[in-house]
Structure 1
Amino acid sequence: MPLLDVRNLTIELETETGRVAVLEKVSLTMNAGEIHGLVGESGSGRSLLAKAIMGILDAKWHVIADRMMWDGKNLLEMTSKQRRYLMGCEMAMIFQDPSGSLDPVKTIGSQVIEAMVPNKNVPFWRRGKDTYLNAQKWLHKVGIKSPKSLMKCFPWELSEGECQKVMIAMAVANHPKLLIADEPTNSMELNTQAQIFRLLSQLNQLQNVSILLVSHELETLVQYCDHLTVLYSGQMMEAGPTAELVANPYHPYTRALLKNLPNYTGKMRHKSNLPTLQGSSPSVQHLPAGCRLGPRCPEAKRQCVKQPRVEHIKDRAFACHFPFNNEQEDDSAFT
């Protein structure tokens, strides 16, 4: 049984012109101990999907799904109190805007301690000191050089990178089963980014923590993730094991992302143009009909004005009328 199973999730947003589907029939399945990557351009709906899983919903959002199961429990039928319990113990999220997610009038130490669950195996008269020392330990693990002095600071006294490290410490301190990392190394220097990813890998390998890694940096996700899901403008383009998806992409958008990866072989001429898709992502008010990649897709044809159905080949999934590397596949392989 998968740890997380989301089927045909749609999020509709209320606007002045009516409801708009900002996320349309997206499915996601994660097993225990898996690192799953969500990749796509800004506005692709990655953060919306992550917040829907956590239950952090706005009053203007309307969430519709065939299934949202967490460890055998139906998330759609849970009360707000039950969802908050999951957020604090079994699920955790590293937000993209760390300084805006921290309380500016509380010290860092008080916020980290508030987010931690006291160890019940420690006598009650020692739990306060034990939690305080444990908070220092996690701040040190995420790269804070002077955790004791930093715990006395307020969020507005820290840089964006330091606030991000604090958010990561708060998220991983309770050893959650699922960690959702939305741009976890944003505003960090390269050495610290490597340290954070090593910490996430250790949590995954040593404590079997499942990680949903949200990023637009495909190169990083390819290095750390077991599976990838590619999103564009609220629609799922392709999903599957990372190695197979990189070696043999079916969707034109996936191929375009892979072509944009940095080339370190030195074969590219000086000042030559990088391969890119023409145009830009559509706005919420002007979403195209059918496949939303259609206006930018080099393989687009008249049939693309209709929404392609999601096809499955073994453990691969893609939504495209004209997929690549699929001419030789037998039609009986589709399910």
Structure 2
Amino acid sequence: MPLLDIKNLTIELDTDAGRIAVLEKVSLTMNPGEIHGLVGESGSGRSVLTKAILGILGSNWHVIADRMMFDGKNLLELTAKERRYLMGCDMAMIFQDPSGSLDPVKTVGSQLIEAMVPNKNIPFWRRSKDTYLNAQKWLHKVGIKSPKALMKCYPWELSDGECQKVMIAMAVANHPKLLIADEPTNSMELNTQAQIFRLLSQLNQLQNVSILLVSHELETLVKYCKNLTVLYGGQMMESGLTTDLVAAPFHPYTRSLLKNLPDYTGKIKHKADLPTLQGSAPSIQNLPAGCRLGPRCPEAKRQCVKQPSVEIYKDRAFACHFPYQDEQESDDDTFA
């Protein structure tokens, strides 16, 4: 049974211009122990999707879905109290801005202990000390060299990398089944980025934590994720095994993202322009009709003014009227 199963999720926001669908019929499936990548440009709806999974909804949000299941539970039917308990124990999230997500007037240790669930198997007079030692243990596991000293520090005394490690320790201390990492290495040095990605990979392998890794860096997701889902303008473009998407992308947007990756093996002229997809992502106030990639798509035709339905072909899901066919397939082989 999938750990996370979302079918045709639509999120609409009430704005001054009326109700706008910022996420439109997006489906996502994750199995236990899987690292799933969610890639897209800024404004593609990645953060909106993760907040909907956690239940962090705004007052002007309207969530509609055919199915939204987590570990056999219907997320749409849970009460606010049940969602908070689920988010504190079985789900956790690493936010984009670790420094801004921590309270600047409280020590790191007090915030970490506050987020941890005490072990009820230990007598109540020992739980406080046990939780304190457990917090130090998790700080050490995420790569903090002096966890006891760092417990007494305030967030503004730490670097961005250290704050990110504290956020990771806070997220995994309760052994969640699903960890959502939303741009976990945003604005960090390359060495720190590599260290955090290795840490997330170790948590997945040793603790069997399922990770939804959100990023706009396709090159990084290809390295660490088993499956990928590509979003654009609030619509799902393509989803499937990472190796299949890289070897033979069906959607023009996926192919454009792969072509935009720098080629480190060849010779690039000094100050040469890198290949890019012309145009920019649409704003929510000016969303195009039909396929939202249409104004930028190199394969766009008149039919693209109608939203394409999601097609399934060999465990690959994609939404395009004119997908690329694998050149190795025979001419008689058609998409389902």
Q: TM-score under structure 1 normalisation?
A: 0.96
8 Å contact 1:164–1:186 — kept in the other structure?
no
> How far apart are 1:158 and its partner, in Å?
2.6
Alpha-carbon distance between aligned partners in 2 of 1:4 and 1:214, rounded to the nearest angstrom: 15
8 Å contact 1:311–1:318 — kept in the other structure?
yes
- Say yes or no: does 1:150 pair with 2:150: yes
Residues 55-74 of structure 1 correspond to what in structure 2 (within 5 A)?
A: 55-74=55-74
Alpha-carbon distance between aligned partners in 2 of 1:302 and 1:62, rounded to the nearest angstrom: 31
Match of 1:79 in 2: 79
8 Å contact 1:161–1:187 — kept in the other structure?
no
Taking a change above 3 Å as real, the CA distance of residues 329 and 312 of structure 1, as seen in their structure-2 partners, is: farther
> How far apart are 1:204 and its partner, in Å?
1.3
Alpha-carbon distance between aligned partners in 2 of 1:67 and 1:329, rounded to the nearest angstrom: 36
Q: Which is further off, 242-251 or 134-143?
A: 134-143
> How far apart are 1:134 and its partner, in Å?
1.5
> How far apart are 1:197 and its partner, in Å?
1.6
Residues 45-56 of structure 1 correspond to what in structure 2 (within 5 A)?
A: 45-56=45-56
- Say yes or no: does 1:259 pair with 2:259: yes
Match of 1:35 in 2: 35
Taking a change above 3 Å as real, the CA distance of residues 195 and 160 of structure 1, as seen in their structure-2 partners, is: closer
Q: What SS does the corresponding residue of 1:153 show, helix, strand or coil?
A: coil
Unpaired segments of 5 or more residues in structure 2?
Answer: none
Alpha-carbon distance between aligned partners in 2 of 1:328 and 1:72, rounded to the nearest angstrom: 40
Question: Could you tell me which amino acid in structure 2 is paired with residue 220 of structure 1?
Answer: T
8 Å contact 2:34–2:210 — kept in the other structure?
yes
8 Å contact 2:119–2:127 — kept in the other structure?
yes
Residues 117-266 of structure 1 correspond to what in structure 2 (within 5 A)?
A: 117-266=117-266
> How far apart are 1:196 and its partner, in Å?
1.7
8 Å contact 2:96–2:182 — kept in the other structure?
yes
Q: Which is further off, 199-208 or 154-163?
A: 154-163
Q: What SS does the corresponding residue of 1:77 show, helix, strand or coil?
A: coil
> How far apart are 1:95 and its partner, in Å?
0.7
Please tell me the root mean square deviation across aligned C-alpha atoms, in Å. 1.5
Alpha-carbon distance between aligned partners in 1 of 2:283 and 2:187, rounded to the nearest angstrom: 26
Q: Which is further off, 323-332 or 293-302?
A: 323-332
Q: Which is further off, 274-283 or 262-271?
A: 262-271
Question: Could you tell me which amino acid in structure 1 is paired with residue 18 of structure 2?
Answer: G
Taking a change above 3 Å as real, the CA distance of residues 324 and 176 of structure 1, as seen in their structure-2 partners, is: same
Match of 2:297 in 1: 297
- Say yes or no: does 1:11 pair with 2:7: no
Q: What SS does the corresponding residue of 1:230 show, helix, strand or coil?
A: strand
Unpaired segments of 5 or more residues in structure 1?
Answer: none
Q: What SS does the corresponding residue of 2:76 show, helix, strand or coil?
A: helix
> How far apart are 1:236 and its partner, in Å?
0.3
Question: Could you tell me which amino acid in structure 2 is paired with residue 41 of structure 1?
Answer: E
Question: Could you tell me which amino acid in structure 2 is paired with residue 317 of structure 1?
Answer: A
> How far apart are 1:328 and its partner, in Å?
4.2
Alpha-carbon distance between aligned partners in 2 of 1:110 and 1:330, rounded to the nearest angstrom: 64
Q: TM-score under structure 2 normalisation?
A: 0.95
Q: Which is further off, 190-199 or 64-73?
A: 190-199
Identity %: 84
Question: Could you tell me which amino acid in structure 2 is paired with residue 196 of structure 1?
Answer: I
8 Å contact 1:26–1:236 — kept in the other structure?
yes
Alpha-carbon distance between aligned partners in 2 of 1:205 and 1:88, rounded to the nearest angstrom: 22
Alpha-carbon distance between aligned partners in 2 of 1:21 and 1:185, rounded to the nearest angstrom: 29
Question: Could you tell me which amino acid in structure 1 is paired with residue 78 of structure 2?
Answer: M
Question: Could you tell me which amino acid in structure 2 is paired with residue 54 of structure 1?
Answer: L
Alpha-carbon distance between aligned partners in 1 of 2:282 and 2:143, rounded to the nearest angstrom: 39
> How far apart are 1:15 and its partner, in Å?
0.6
- CA-to-aligned-CA distance 1:235-263 (integer Å, 9 cap, x gap): 00000000001000001110111111121
Alpha-carbon distance between aligned partners in 2 of 1:297 and 1:322, rounded to the nearest angstrom: 11
8 Å contact 2:183–2:215 — kept in the other structure?
yes
- CA-to-aligned-CA distance 1:86-123 (integer Å, 9 cap, x gap): 10110100011222222222211100001111223333
8 Å contact 2:240–2:316 — kept in the other structure?
yes
Alpha-carbon distance between aligned partners in 1 of 2:121 and 2:196, rounded to the nearest angstrom: 29
- Say yes or no: does 1:114 pair with 2:114: yes
After TM superposition, where is structure 1 displaced by more than 3 Å over at least 4 residues in a row?
Answer: 326-333
> How far apart are 1:231 and its partner, in Å?
0.2
Matched positions, count: 334
Question: Could you tell me which amino acid in structure 1 is paired with residue 213 of structure 2?
Answer: L
Question: Could you tell me which amino acid in structure 2 is paired with residue 81 of structure 1?
Answer: K
Q: What SS does the corresponding residue of 1:303 show, helix, strand or coil?
A: helix
Alpha-carbon distance between aligned partners in 1 of 2:60 and 2:99, rounded to the nearest angstrom: 24
Question: Could you tell me which amino acid in structure 1 is paired with residue 239 of structure 2?
Answer: A
Alpha-carbon distance between aligned partners in 1 of 2:245 and 2:122, rounded to the nearest angstrom: 47
8 Å contact 1:99–1:163 — kept in the other structure?
yes
